[in-house]
């Protein structure tokens, strides 16, 4: 390649193909990223922890192997969200409690990614313990939205999304409980997908059989995301809910040309206010499916009970995961984390059982709905990027949200029905801020989801919209 900039602006699939042809090396890619990070990351704070020495050591070991033995990614660099252990690399979890924590052993997910030729060179910024859809913490500070650096990058995979948008990553890891892969994708104009539970194996944390939080891929387009998803998926006996890969290629699925016959679009799922400009942008994008011969119908499943269900099960999960930290370090936890844990500690067995019953009903209604519609489309977020100083969205259209996560309902509704869901860029607001369109499929329907998302992406965008240089805002 002539310049680092040429590499930075290429798709991940194209760069991987160059690696397979040995026209570039993993070391070339690391050099390009290190230069780009020095150029732009100071303006956005996406990748606060770098580990280029470790990355180059790994790259050299890969280069000692025949190219056909270097895995699916063949030496592609990947940042890991600062919630997940990478052996020998600082993992703060966005918390002062872990400000100097360096794990010895990597998470199962990182092991799998590296075995497939992924090269870890950085940790991406996240809110404390991933709590909240605005990326800030007391260890590293705020991550800023590159489309307007006065705005939020959302979260909790905000650093990952910003690294993709600014060209300091081709692929990125994220995680999602209430929209943390999809919210920052929407705010930053990139692609993020929440997979079905069990698709991506990871080191279990309490509760070990939970299906709320998942690990997943982020990228600049659907094909790039599918490439990374292929490298992440597969069964691992150390994760009790992990699923067998089945031999399918999700990249092949994305490229298959499969089109849905009939999809549903909903502006609000009947559960949340949505900014009218955002809803209009997403509706126009969804209706363009018709250009591929797809029938688009205004409809959605019945999500009665979704708020109560999510609040209870999320709080119970927080107690299981963080009760010990609450008992020993409450004074170091941010208010939202304390609130979530304390809400969980107050729950009765009856309330948890009722929430599980509600979730079973939600799941059954959604399965029936997907018998009539191949995909469900909605806004990925209910607003575009808000000022970064706001901890969360407190009010919209006269509705005051009851807590710091209720504004994420359009995303966490898909969590409750265990649906894989992707956010792809739908358009821009009058302030030139990106808006994401959420597309969901039935459980374990990622092949269908990626194929459909690729069809619509091809209609909406003839040219890539990222990477960009950070744009100062007021």
Q: Would the CA dihedral through 255, 256, 262, 263 be positive or negative?
A: negative
* Nearest to 457, CA basis, from 139, 267, 244, 220: 220
User: From start to end of 125-232, where are the E strands?
Assistant: 136-137, 141-142, 171-176, 191-194, 214-219
What residue has token string 């900039």? 5
Residue 324 exposed, middle or buried by CB count within 10 Å (0-12, 13-18, 19+): exposed
Q: Would the CA dihedral through 172, 119, 76, 454 be positive or negative?
A: negative
Name the DSSP class of 42.
G
CA 309 to chain centre: 22
Query: Which CA distances in Å does 107 have to 88, 216, 445?
Result: 12, 14, 26
Out of 156, 163, 242, 419, the active site residue is 156
| Contact by Cβ (8 Å): 122, 253 | no
81 is catalytic: yes
DSSP state string for 122-155? EEE--SGGG-SSS-EETTTEE-B-TT-TTBB--S
Cα 62 to Cα 58: distance, rounded to the nearest angstrom:
6
Cα 260 to Cα 127: distance, rounded to the nearest angstrom:
37
DSSP state string for 350-373? HHHHHHHHHHHHHHHHHHHHTTT-
249 is catalytic: no
Cα 141 to Cα 128: distance, rounded to the nearest angstrom:
11
State phi, psi for 249 to the nearest 5 degrees.
-105, 120
The C-alpha angle with vertex 39 and arms to 36 and 45, in degrees rounded to 5, equals 90
Pairing of strands 136-137, 141-142: antiparallel
21 is catalytic: no
Which pair of tokens denotes residue 14? 């194209």
Which pair of tokens denotes residue 95? 């918390």
Out of 157, 163, 180, 384, the active site residue is 180
Could you give the residue numbers annotated as active site?
Answer: 81, 156, 180
């Amino acid at each position: 390649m002539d310049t680092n900039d040429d590499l930075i602006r290429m798709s991940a699939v194209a760069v991987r193909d160059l690696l397979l042809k040995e026209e570039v090396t993993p070391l070339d890619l690391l050099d390009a990223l290190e230069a780009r990070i020095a150029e732009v990351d100071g303006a956005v704070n996406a990748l606060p922890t770098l580990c280029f020495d470790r990355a180059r050591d790994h790259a050299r070991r890969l280069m000692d192997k025949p190219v056909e033995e270097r895995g699916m990614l063949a030496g592609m660099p990947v940042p890991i969200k600062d919630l997940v252990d990478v052996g020998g690399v600082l993992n703060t979890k966005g918390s002062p409690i872990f400000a100097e924590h360096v794990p010895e052993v990597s998470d199962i997910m990182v092991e799998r990614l590296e075995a497939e030729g992924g090269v870890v060179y950085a940790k991406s910024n996240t809110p404390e313990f991933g709590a909240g859809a605005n990326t800030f913490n007391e260890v590293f500070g705020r991550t800023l939205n590159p489309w307007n650096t006065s705005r939020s990058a959302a979260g909790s995979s905000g650093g990952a999304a910003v690294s993709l948008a600014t060209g300091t990553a081709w692929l990125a890891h994220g995680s999602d409980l209430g929209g943390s892969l999809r919210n920052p994708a929407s705010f930053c104009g990139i692609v993020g997908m929440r997979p079905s539970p069990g698709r991506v194996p990871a080191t279990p944390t309490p509760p070990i059989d939970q299906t709320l939080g998942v690990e997943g891929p982020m990228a600049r387009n659907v094909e790039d995301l599918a490439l990374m998803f292929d490298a992440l998926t597969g069964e691992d006996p150390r994760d009790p809910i992990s699923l067998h890969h089945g031999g399918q290629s999700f990249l092949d699925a994305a490229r298959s040309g499969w089109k849905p016959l009939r999809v549903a679009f909903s502006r609000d799922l009947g559960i949340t206010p949505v900014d009218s400009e955002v809803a209009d942008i997403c509706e126009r994008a969804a209706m363009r499916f018709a250009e591929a011969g797809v029938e688009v119908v205004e409809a959605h499943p019945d999500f009665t009970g979704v708020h109560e269900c999510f609040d209870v099960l999320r709080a119970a999960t927080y107690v299981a995961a963080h009760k010990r930290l609450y008992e020993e370090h409450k004074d170091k936890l941010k208010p939202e984390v304390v609130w979530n844990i304390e809400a969980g500690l107050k729950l009765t067995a009856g309330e948890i059982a009722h929430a599980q019953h509600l979730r079973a009903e939600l799941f059954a209604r959604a399965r029936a709905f997907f018998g009539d519609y191949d995909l469900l489309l909605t806004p990925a977020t209910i607003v575009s990027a808000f000022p970064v100083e706001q901890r969360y969205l407190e009010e919209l259209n006269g509705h005051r949200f009851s807590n710091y996560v209720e504004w994420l309902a359009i995303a966490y509704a898909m969590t409750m029905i265990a649906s894989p869901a992707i956010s792809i860029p739908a358009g821009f607001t009058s302030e030139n801020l990106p808006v994401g369109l959420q597309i969901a499929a039935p459980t374990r329907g990622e092949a269908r989801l990626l194929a459909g998302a690729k069809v619509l992406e091809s209609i909406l965008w003839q040219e890539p919209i990222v990477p960009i240089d950070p744009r100062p805002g007021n």
